[in-house]
A and B are shown apart, each in its own frame.
Chain A
Amino acid sequence: MRALFNAARTGIAEVRVHKMRSVLSFMAIAVGSVVFIDSFATIVSTYDRLQKQKEVSGIARLKITQDYDQTNSNPDEYTPPPNITYETAMSLKSKLPGLYMVSPEFQNWRNTLEFEGKRVVTTINGVTPEWAKRDFVYKLKGRFLDWQDLENKLRVCVLVRKAVPPPSNELTKTRMKQWNYTAAFDVLVSHNDMLGKTVKIDGVTFTVVGILEELSPSKQPDLIMPQARDYKVLAPATTLAHYGFFDEEYDSLDLNVDAGDENNFEESLKLIENFLKIRFGGDEFFMIDNQMETINEAIDASVKQSLVTISLGMLAFLAGGIGIMNITLATVFARTKEIGIRRAVGATRGDIMLQFIVEAAMLGLIGGVLGSGLGYLWGVPVKELLGMGASPIKPWMPAVSVLIAAFTAFVFALYPAWVAASLKPADALRTE
């Protein structure tokens, strides 16, 4: 312990005497520390985002739609695919109760919505309460659709209120202007408290039971699957069928399914295919889009990106470590005579090694602290100033960075310290 203390004292004296050399060593490690903290923050934010995305979007997702692309050589043998109906969805849900979500969906375009004498063009989606189980990036005012609404085909609806686009998004603004996009529906819903009021959609009166307020872009978790989520009005699928918004004889629903457990995904997929075969005499009429693969690819891509980022951080430390090694080796050669003197008065090889290692570790420690400060400055105020968004720097990141900096310096000082300790006292003393 005393030897360590003595080595530390000598180290402090060396740092003070050789200011330029010390500053160069600090900087070598400090740069590594800055990059490392930035990498860490990026990885943590990527991981957090992925976790949120998984929670919101789920992983074991698939989408069943009609497949019109059957390749029959003889057009006379072509059989149009059967329609997916609300009843199909309910049957699938009851046959496979292990599925987390079976959400049938139908979209009708160019409907007219009337409210207090104002008329706007909108779209309407026929859904069930299952719709809200995934990709729900809204704040709900009032209530969402429930099973009673569907069973009783009630004329109730939920309106979607768009988030205010970020003010910096000038490009979107310009494009919206170019396309003469007035977003009348969005303006109507934003400017009026329509909860509990009645609206007319294509002449049918609906009561607004809920408003879905889209979260602001900064609070909105990114969805793993980029989907066209241009929802405006949601109503019970059964109500829309009953009032002729779609005809189950001609129109088919899409089925969004979440198997829930990714481990049982393959089994669920087989059961669904089996269900379709039994019900429709074959599953070739349907396209089952395995979204889990896409989602996993997206996750893998994020993980790979994180690995690249952390590799950059490690490379920066490696460069810093090589800098420390280089400077320590130069120090050993410059202080060969001193090593000889210390050996002559009784220093062991261990004492000499300890001295150089402690000196380098101190440089690493100081560099790490300096780098952590710079890393915070770069990650928070500077990035915000540059409009890059502050990095989520957690208190443990600078602490880990300082430890890694000291450890890197320690590891890279081992060789120069060994060189110093291996010098024969008589040879070292002869050096001028």
Chain B
Amino acid sequence: MSISCSDLSKTYEGGHAGWPALRGVSFEIKPGEFVAVTGPSGCGKSTLLNILGLLDEPSGGRYLLNGRSILEMSDGERSDFRRDELGFIFQSFNLLNRLPAADNVCLPMMYAGIPRAEMHHRAHELLAKVGLKGKEKKTPLELSGGERQRVAIARALANAPKILLADEPTGNLDSASSREIMDALLKLHAEGITVIMVTHDRELAARAQRNLRMKDGRLEE
């Protein structure tokens, strides 16, 4: 699944003229690439990732996902795209704390209408894949930061997405856990998944195939 952005801009409402988070960003990502988006805080990395993940809309420019403009998609189609083609990993994990790990992994499959038994079987498989076998019934609050992020990775993989979007996936983790998560992402990339990772950690970014450097809402590739 290819990604093509040209002259992408995003201005947040507020203030006299609004606040421009993205200013004319253009780039392409080929299927199976591992791209790191880097830059200082407030440079627009997360905004770009939200737009790429169809969580937000650009104010201007063009974003083609697999050759199709996202502005032509209905809200329902975007939801379907997020559910079936995209996987998200967030810095703060964004897990539902009152649900067990397995149920958190089941969430995207539930919206895909996968039967309950199959859903749970797959959730257990995915948790085993990320090294959390035996912790299926633990809630996120009973897990360490690294384990929580691995649950988030398992959830992101639930519907076998083609693109994985990771927003500072190691931002809240110690160095050992960070390495584990990065290894997991590289392993997924090796399996053919496109990975787009936002990070301000140069060391991690260096392990990606390509770096997109951002500053003040602009790209400095």
Question: Judging by beta carbons under 8 Å apart, are A346 and B159 in contact?
Answer: yes
B177 at the interface (CB under 8 A from A): no
B75 at the interface (CB under 8 A from A): yes
Question: Judging by beta carbons under 8 Å apart, are A346 and B79 in contact?
Answer: yes
- The interface residues of chain A lying within 8 Å CB-to-CB of B98 are 13, 17
Q: Give the bracket for the number of chain A residues in contact with chain B.
A: 20 to 34
Q: Which residues of A from 326 to 348 have beta carbons under 8 Å from B?
A: 337-338, 340-348
Q: Which residues of B from 56 to 82 have beta carbons under 8 Å from A?
A: 56, 75-76, 79-80, 82
- The interface residues of chain A lying within 8 Å CB-to-CB of B107 are 341-342, 345
Question: Judging by beta carbons under 8 Å apart, are A337 and B94 in contact?
Answer: yes
The residue that A343 contacts in the complex, of B55, B95, B110, B158, with Cβ under 8 A, is B55
B39 at the interface (CB under 8 A from A): no
Which of B55, B76, B159 has the largest number of chain A CB atoms within 10 A? B55
Task: Report A275 CB to chain B, min CB distance, Å.
Answer: 79
B147 at the interface (CB under 8 A from A): no
Task: Report B207 CB to chain A, min CB distance, Å.
Answer: 25
The residue that A341 contacts in the complex, of B53, B80, B94, B113, with Cβ under 8 A, is B94
In angstroms, Cα B76 to Cα A342, docked, is 14
In angstroms, Cα B47 to Cα A424, docked, is 13
- The interface residues of chain A lying within 8 Å CB-to-CB of B11 are none
The residue that A426 contacts in the complex, of B56, B75, B95, B155, with Cβ under 8 A, is B56
Known A-B contacts A2-B113, A425-B55, A426-B55; the reply to A343 vs B96 at CB < 8 A is: no
In angstroms, Cα B80 to Cα A351, docked, is 12
The residue that A349 contacts in the complex, of B56, B75, B80, with Cβ under 8 A, is B75
Question: Judging by beta carbons under 8 Å apart, are A344 and B96 in contact?
Answer: no
In angstroms, Cα B113 to Cα A6, docked, is 9
- The interface residues of chain A lying within 8 Å CB-to-CB of B34 are none
B50 at the interface (CB under 8 A from A): yes
Q: Give the bracket for the number of chain B residues in contact with chain A.
A: 20 to 34
Q: Which residue of A lies closest to B75 (CB)?
A: A349
- The interface residues of chain A lying within 8 Å CB-to-CB of B90 are 429
Known A-B contacts A2-B113, A342-B107, A425-B56; the reply to A348 vs B79 at CB < 8 A is: yes
Question: Judging by beta carbons under 8 Å apart, are B94 and A344 in contact?
Answer: yes
Task: Report A17 CB to chain B, min CB distance, Å.
Answer: 6
Question: Judging by beta carbons under 8 Å apart, are A6 and B110 in contact?
Answer: yes
- The interface residues of chain B lying within 8 Å CB-to-CB of A343 are 55, 79, 82
In angstroms, Cα B83 to Cα A350, docked, is 14
- The interface residues of chain A lying within 8 Å CB-to-CB of B55 are 343-344, 424-426, 429
- The interface residues of chain B lying within 8 Å CB-to-CB of A2 are 113
Question: Judging by beta carbons under 8 Å apart, are B53 and A424 in contact?
Answer: no
Question: Judging by beta carbons under 8 Å apart, are B50 and A347 in contact?
Answer: no
In angstroms, Cα B140 to Cα A337, docked, is 15
Task: Report A12 CB to chain B, min CB distance, Å.
Answer: 13
Task: Report A18 CB to chain B, min CB distance, Å.
Answer: 10
Question: Judging by beta carbons under 8 Å apart, are B82 and A346 in contact?
Answer: yes
- The interface residues of chain A lying within 8 Å CB-to-CB of B108 are 345-346
In angstroms, Cα B95 to Cα A429, docked, is 11
Question: Judging by beta carbons under 8 Å apart, are A347 and B79 in contact?
Answer: yes
In angstroms, Cα B98 to Cα A349, docked, is 22
Q: Which residues of A from 295 to 347 have beta carbons under 8 Å from B?
A: 337-338, 340-347
B19 at the interface (CB under 8 A from A): no
Known A-B contacts A338-B96, A341-B96, A343-B55; the reply to A426 vs B50 at CB < 8 A is: yes
B27 at the interface (CB under 8 A from A): no
In angstroms, Cα B158 to Cα A342, docked, is 14
B84 at the interface (CB under 8 A from A): yes
- The interface residues of chain B lying within 8 Å CB-to-CB of A425 are 55-56, 82
Question: Judging by beta carbons under 8 Å apart, are A345 and B155 in contact?
Answer: yes
Q: Which residue of B lies closest to A421 (CB)?
A: B75
Q: Which residues of B from 142 to 191 have beta carbons under 8 Å from A?
A: 155, 158-159
In angstroms, Cα B155 to Cα A347, docked, is 14
In angstroms, Cα B110 to Cα A315, docked, is 39
- The interface residues of chain B lying within 8 Å CB-to-CB of A17 are 98
In angstroms, Cα B94 to Cα A25, docked, is 28
Known A-B contacts A17-B98, A425-B56, A429-B90; the reply to A346 vs B112 at CB < 8 A is: yes
- The interface residues of chain B lying within 8 Å CB-to-CB of A6 are 110
Task: Report B127 CB to chain A, min CB distance, Å.
Answer: 16
Which of A345, A350, A426 has the largest number of chain B CB atoms within 10 A? A345
Question: Judging by beta carbons under 8 Å apart, are B56 and A424 in contact?
Answer: yes
Question: Judging by beta carbons under 8 Å apart, are A345 and B83 in contact?
Answer: yes
Q: Which residue of A lies closest to B90 (CB)?
A: A429
B→A interface (CB under 8 Å):
50, 53, 55-56, 75-76, 79-80, 82-84, 88, 90, 94-96, 98-99, 107-108, 110-113, 155, 158-159
Would you list 23 pairs from A and B whose C-beta atoms are within 8 A, ordered by A residue? Answer: A3-B113, A337-B94, A338-B96, A340-B94, A341-B95, A341-B96, A342-B107, A343-B79, A344-B53, A344-B88, A345-B107, A346-B79, A346-B83, A346-B111, A346-B159, A347-B111, A350-B76, A351-B79, A424-B55, A424-B56, A425-B56, A426-B55, A429-B55
Q: A341-B107, A342-B111, A347-B83 are in contact. List 8 more A-B contacts (CB 8 A).
A: A340-B94, A341-B95, A345-B82, A345-B108, A346-B111, A426-B50, A426-B56, A429-B94
The 4 closest A-B pairs by CB, nearest first: A346-B83, A426-B56, A345-B108, A348-B79
A→B interface (CB under 8 Å):
2-3, 6, 13, 17, 337-338, 340-351, 424-426, 429
